[in-house]
Chain A
Amino acid sequence: MNKLAQKYLRPSQIPTKACHGCGIGMIENWLLQAIDELGLKQEDVVFGTGIGCVGRQTFATWGGDNFGATHGRALAVATGLKIAQPDKKYLVVVGDGDAAAIGTSHLIHAARRNLGVTVVCEDNMGYESTGGQFSPTTPAGYVTNSSPYGMVEPSFDPCDVVKAAGATFVAETTATQWHQTIKIVKKALQNDGFSFVHVRFPCNENFGAYALGTRDTLKNLEWIWEHTQGRTADGKPTDFTWETGIKHDASNSRPEFSKILRDLVRKAGGTPASAALDRVEGVVVDD
């Protein structure tokens, strides 16, 4: 086990429940590196997840405080926690179903309010833990378990949606860009507001098997890399390209949601709730 996993994760949950060659572990390793480079401890970070492959791994492995919400509702739970304990960092690690399908409205409204959490959307382009059905982020035309003649709907880009909704930090990377992902997650964690990081990773067991026709781990990761670069290994252009990098950076430009609420409660005048919130902040209220 590497040193960061020993420092931050639960040893009883390693090896993880992920399939072989699944990219969730890589991304979690890079999240640990970003947390470690920022000097954060286990008790400073709260991990939140929803349901699915991503929820199953990250909820079980993080050694500090964490929560597992119902499908798509991780941000609703995170909103309450952020208001109650605003001095912690919230890392809400959700899959594409949680972020872009059932939880889209929670995502949009958390971005609109500028809630101070970092959402890492780990996207394997389908509902892979339930057998490989298509999701809104499945590329158009690709065969999945529930679209045997090819996905008929166009693909959905959650980055554009949260940017339009008012998120202050939006970025996209893939599971082949480790240094870029670590830098982006560090910037996202330093933003006192809503940060959204969209990371695509390979699924061998379902998306790879149905859409790409192979369970070869190397070919699946290579496919992700080719669509990041825009050309295949033999030099031909790919059918589409993901534009990665920071898409929108207005870090710390807007007041954060829980801070607005606390200011409002204080202005409304000394209720028990505001006194409790001030105790959390460490501010003494003179009655």
Chain B
Amino acid sequence: MPLFKPEKKQIAQNAGKWDVVISEDMCKACGFCLQICPVDVFAWRRTANRLGWFPMYVAHEANCIGCMLCYQICPDFCINVAPKAEAEPAVAS
């Protein structure tokens, strides 16, 4: 069984409840998060960061299912995944 699976899964029902933040200036572009993410959240940026790498950015945050695989595998402490804060209910005017 390979560690990195090429096929991406369909978006699950519990997707979109997670804040995915990536520090693009610290990213060394190893590509682990892109390859291990099962639902295609990340993508390559086309401009270099201050380290000279072409880093990842969060392209499809709404796909995130909170599996934390990217958080565990990132070797440069770049990625933070946390539940989205509940939106306050709109007050009827």
Interface residue ranges, A against B (CB under 8 Å): 1-5, 9, 14-16, 18-26, 29-30, 176, 178, 217-218, 221-222, 225, 229, 233
The answer to whether B80 and A25 have CB atoms under 8 Å apart is: no
Interface hits, B47-77 → A, CB 8 Å: 51, 53, 71-77
The answer to whether A218 and B31 have CB atoms under 8 Å apart is: yes
Instruction: Give the residues in chain B near A5, CB-CB below 8 Å.
Output: 77
Of A15, A25, A26, A218, which one neighbours B51 at CB under 8 angstroms?
A15
Interface size class of B (residues with CB under 8 A): 20 to 34
Answer whether A24 and B77 are a contact pair too, CB < 8 Å, given A218-B31, A218-B35.
no
Q: Give the total number of A-B pairs whose CB atoms are below 8 A apart.
A: 75
Answer whether A218 and B4 are a contact pair too, CB < 8 Å, given A15-B51, A16-B76.
yes
Q: What are the 6 A-B residue pairs with the smallest beta carbon separation, nearest first?
A: A25-B75, A20-B28, A21-B30, A5-B77, A225-B3, A233-B2
Q: How far is the CB of A214 from chain B (nearest CB, A)?
A: 13
Answer whether A15 and B3 are a contact pair too, CB < 8 Å, given A23-B75, A25-B76.
no
Taken together as a complex, chains A and B put the C-alpha atoms of A21 and B32 apart, in Å, by 8
Q: How far is the CB of A30 from chain B (nearest CB, A)?
A: 7
Answer whether A222 and B3 are a contact pair too, CB < 8 Å, given A1-B77, A21-B75.
yes
Taken together as a complex, chains A and B put the C-alpha atoms of A238 and B73 apart, in Å, by 24
Interface residue ranges, B against A (CB under 8 Å): 1-4, 23, 25-26, 28-32, 35, 51, 53, 71-80, 82
Instruction: Give the residues in chain B near A18, CB-CB below 8 Å.
Output: 75-76
Instruction: Give the residues in chain B near A24, CB-CB below 8 Å.
Output: 75
The chain A residue sitting closest to B27, CB to CB, is A15
The chain B residue sitting closest to A223, CB to CB, is B3
The answer to whether A222 and B4 have CB atoms under 8 Å apart is: yes
The chain A residue sitting closest to B25, CB to CB, is A15
The chain B residue sitting closest to A2, CB to CB, is B80
The chain B residue sitting closest to A4, CB to CB, is B77
Of B28, B32, B35, B71, which one neighbours A15 at CB under 8 angstroms?
B28
The chain A residue sitting closest to B23, CB to CB, is A1
Instruction: Give the residues in chain B near A178, CB-CB below 8 Å.
Output: 72-73
Instruction: Give the residues in chain B near A14, CB-CB below 8 Å.
Output: 26, 76-77
Instruction: Give the residues in chain B near A4, CB-CB below 8 Å.
Output: 77
Q: How far is the CB of A233 from chain B (nearest CB, A)?
A: 4
Taken together as a complex, chains A and B put the C-alpha atoms of A218 and B51 apart, in Å, by 20
Taken together as a complex, chains A and B put the C-alpha atoms of A23 and B35 apart, in Å, by 16
Instruction: Give the residues in chain B near A229, CB-CB below 8 Å.
Output: 1
Instruction: Give the residues in chain A near B31, CB-CB below 8 Å.
Output: 21, 217-218
Taken together as a complex, chains A and B put the C-alpha atoms of A1 and B76 apart, in Å, by 8
The answer to whether A30 and B72 have CB atoms under 8 Å apart is: yes
Of B1, B28, B51, B71, which one neighbours A21 at CB under 8 angstroms?
B28
Instruction: Give the residues in chain A near B53, CB-CB below 8 Å.
Output: 20
The answer to whether A176 and B3 have CB atoms under 8 Å apart is: yes
Taken together as a complex, chains A and B put the C-alpha atoms of A217 and B73 apart, in Å, by 12
The answer to whether B32 and A218 have CB atoms under 8 Å apart is: yes
Taken together as a complex, chains A and B put the C-alpha atoms of A30 and B79 apart, in Å, by 14
Taken together as a complex, chains A and B put the C-alpha atoms of A30 and B73 apart, in Å, by 9
The answer to whether B26 and A1 have CB atoms under 8 Å apart is: yes
Of A2, A3, A20, A176, which one neighbours B30 at CB under 8 angstroms?
A20
Instruction: Give the residues in chain A near B25, CB-CB below 8 Å.
Output: 15
Taken together as a complex, chains A and B put the C-alpha atoms of A2 and B81 apart, in Å, by 8
The chain A residue sitting closest to B68, CB to CB, is A178
The answer to whether B3 and A2 have CB atoms under 8 Å apart is: no
Instruction: Give the residues in chain B near A218, CB-CB below 8 Å.
Output: 4, 31-32, 35
